[in-house]
Amino acid sequence: MGALLLLSHLAQLKLREENQSLRSQADQLAELSAENARLSNLVANATGAQTNTQLNELLRLRSEVGRLRKQTNELAKLNEENGRLQASLARARQERPPAPEQPNPAAEQEKQEGIAKMNYTRGWIMAFHLYARDHQGQLPTSFEQAAALLPEETKAETKVGINQFELVYQGSLEGLANPSRVIVIRETQARQTGNVGWSRAYAFADGHSEIHRSSDGNFEKWESELLQKPAGQ
């Protein structure tokens, strides 16, 4: 009986130990299950948040692409419209007559004065040629000698007077190698003409007259090649 009681007591102790061990394992299993559930929830939440972030970024990018495509299309339309307008403007410029120049009273007056002086000196050089024809090719030595031979329109000229001119060649026409390069009549004083400098009227031995211009009012260098002394002087 003693032995049986001892064995029974030992069996109970062993069962208690095993029961305690199982309870400990059960508690650990419960803790592990709870931790696993907690981690699963964390993973699910983290995955969901990441997915939402990616989705939002994707939607933003799609919206940006759509906006850029719209802007690109609008830019293409604007370029096309701009090209069409430029072509229309070019055609309009070609078809439109140039705008008339605004009259400049001062410039017009200078122009008319120049024309009057050219006509006046041309009339005198014609009279000089008529005089030379009757005097063995010799030009007159004064304006008075050829005054009677002046054309009527030169005599009637009132804007220009003979006192504005001088004779610079009084020799023979026959001895001139190049009459178009010999000044016979010269305007005494150069005149300032607006912003273009100075001008002076001349009549040449071949019968033509012209207005020469100088930016600084110095005519000596140009005249030096066109002023010729009569033979023997």
Pairwise CA distance, residues 143 & 145, whole Å: 5
Instruction: Judge whether residue 233 has pLDDT over 80.
Output: no
Pairwise CA distance, residues 183 & 228, whole Å: 8
Ranges of each domain in the chain:
1-97, 107-224
**Six-digit token pair at 52?**
């939402």
Instruction: Judge whether residue 230 has pLDDT over 70.
Output: no
Give the H or E element holding residue 190. none
Instruction: Judge whether residue 4 has pLDDT over 80.
Output: no
Q: Are the CB atoms for 92 and 152 separated by under 8 Å?
A: no
pLDDT of residue 49: 62
Q: Are the CB atoms for 81 and 115 separated by under 8 Å?
A: no
Q: Taking phi first (over 0 means left), then psi (-120 to 50 degrees means alpha), and beta for anything else, what does residue 167 get? A: beta
Residue corresponding to tokens 């939402």? 52
Residue 187, classed as helix, strand or coil, is strand
Residue 185 CB: number of other CB atoms within 10 A? 24
Task: Outline where DSSP puts E strands in 11-164.
Answer: none
The letter for the amino acid at 45 is: N
213 pairs with which residues across the strands? 199
Specify the higher pLDDT residue, 105 or 210: 210
Class of residue 176 by CB neighbours under 10 A (exposed 0-12, middle 13-18, buried 19+): buried
Once rounded to an integer, what is the mean pLDDT over residues 27-38? 77
pLDDT of residue 197: 87
Q: What percent of the chain has pLDDT over 70?
A: 87
Residue corresponding to tokens 């009273």? 105
The letter for the amino acid at 192 is: Q
The letter for the amino acid at 112 is: Q
What are the tens digits of pLDDT across the range 137-182? Answer: 999 999 999 999 999 999 998 889 999 999 999 999 987 889 999 9
Q: What average pLDDT does the structure give for the chain?
A: 83
Pairwise CA distance, residues 176 & 231, whole Å: 9
Q: What is the DSSP letter of 90?
A: H
Q: Which of 134-138, 220-224, 227-231 has the lowest mean pLDDT?
A: 227-231
